[in-house]
Amino acid sequence: MRLGIFGLPQSGKTTLFNALTRGTQPTGIVTGKIEIHDAVVDVPDARVDVLASMFHPKKTIYTKVNYADIAGLDGSAGKSGISGELLNKLAQMDGFIHVVRCFENETVVHPAGSINPQRDVETMDSEFILNDLVAVEKRIEKLNDERRKGGGRDKAVVDRDLALFDRMHACLADEQPLRNIDLTADEEKTISGFGLLSRKPMLILLNLDDTQAAPKITSPHRQTMVDSIRGKIEMELSQLPEEDAALFMSEFNITELGLNRVIKLSYDLIGLESFFTAGEDECRAWTVKKNATAPEAAGVIHSDLQKGFIRAEVITYDDLVALGGLNEAKAKGKLRLEGKDYIVKDGDILNIRFNVSK
């Protein structure tokens, strides 16, 4: 999973990036240049730690998430368009985190001259919508030319694509992001190469000061989540030793690190869940799309496991922990065999039975 972090200048997006990744990128610097900084971080999951304490494996491996700090979006794309270089980078993201400034600071001037979170959300929504509108209009023009000239693809296929892009154009012209419309799997495949930004899921993260309450922000759009974070405090916490961080959290009444909460929200945003493999050699968390089948989960581990899938031995994390081990789970009938149609649940522990002929 790769999520792009963006926001208007001085919104605190790099502060958030540092908090999430325990990084030390300079903050408060606005160059106007296109810059992207990547960091891969472990996904905190206490369940992995518990499994490791039960199996004492040689290796314990957490699943990963990739965050990208994106500089270069300043709300002006409606006038000049998003540059090709930046657009290519944005198109590679699975989703976005939009950091919205809510804190007041007289020494750090907001580019619009005042603090107005709702305005900033709408500004950046428009940035992506206008970019997509241009791309969709260009595609419609090419499809009409193809239909008129003929001699290429089957006319019915061209008409089908034209109907799809006309539907997306109507959505964008109504100032709505493309994530607001339903598309079939085939339609998703048709548009996959166009880098349509407003189709991607969005987490709006309100960046608060040390004591500020989160303002009410409305977003009527689908696949859009809204939450808040004290970016400056969270960055400071991320750079403290564990014991000092615990004292700091107690002082400021912080019950959970923003890092952990935002990662959980990121998973929900993209529609992901975790399953596990556990044994003496390795305890490991894996990421899979929600509603994935057992063979699809097997393919995440290795393509050969999906090709030669026979059955999956399955036990839930809660049952394993409650019973104290695999032998106890077998005795109680909690370890079961599932076939190709089984839908993997968050927290399932899988052992894949497979056979790949040479």
What is the pTM for the complete model shown? Answer: 0.89
On the question of pLDDT at 332 being above 70, the answer is yes
Helix (H, G, I), strand (E, B) or coil at 157: helix
The answer to whether the beta carbons of residues 211 and 188 sit under 8 Å apart is no
Mean pLDDT of 220-227: 92
**pLDDT confidence bin for 3, thresholds 50/70/90:** very high
pLDDT of residue 80: 59
> pLDDT over 70 for what percent of the chain?
96
pLDDT of residue 255: 81
What is the C-alpha separation between 254 and 36, in angstroms, rounded?
30
CB neighbours of residue 22 within 10 Å:
13
On the question of pLDDT at 32 being above 80, the answer is no
Q: Please provide the average confidence, as pLDDT, over all residues in the chain.
A: 91
Which segment of 25-39, 136-150, 269-283 scores lowest on mean pLDDT?
25-39
Mean pLDDT of 278-304: 96
CB neighbours of residue 64 within 10 Å:
12
DSSP 8-state code for residue 197? G
Provide the residue type at 205 as one letter: L
Nearest in space to 283 (alpha carbons), one of 321, 239, 229: 321
Segment holding 86, helix H or strand E: helix 84-91
Give per-residue pLDDT as tens, 47-95: 999 999 999 999 999 999 999 999 878 777 655 568 788 888 899 999 9
pLDDT of residue 253: 79
pLDDT of residue 218: 79
What is the C-alpha separation between 254 and 235, in angstroms, rounded?
13
Q: Does domain 291-354 have CATH number 3.10.20.30?
A: yes
Give the domain ranges of the chain.
291-354
On the question of pLDDT at 306 being above 90, the answer is yes
Nearest in space to 339 (alpha carbons), one of 300, 298, 304, 302: 298
pLDDT of residue 79: 57
pLDDT of residue 78: 58
Helix (H, G, I), strand (E, B) or coil at 76: coil
pLDDT of residue 254: 80
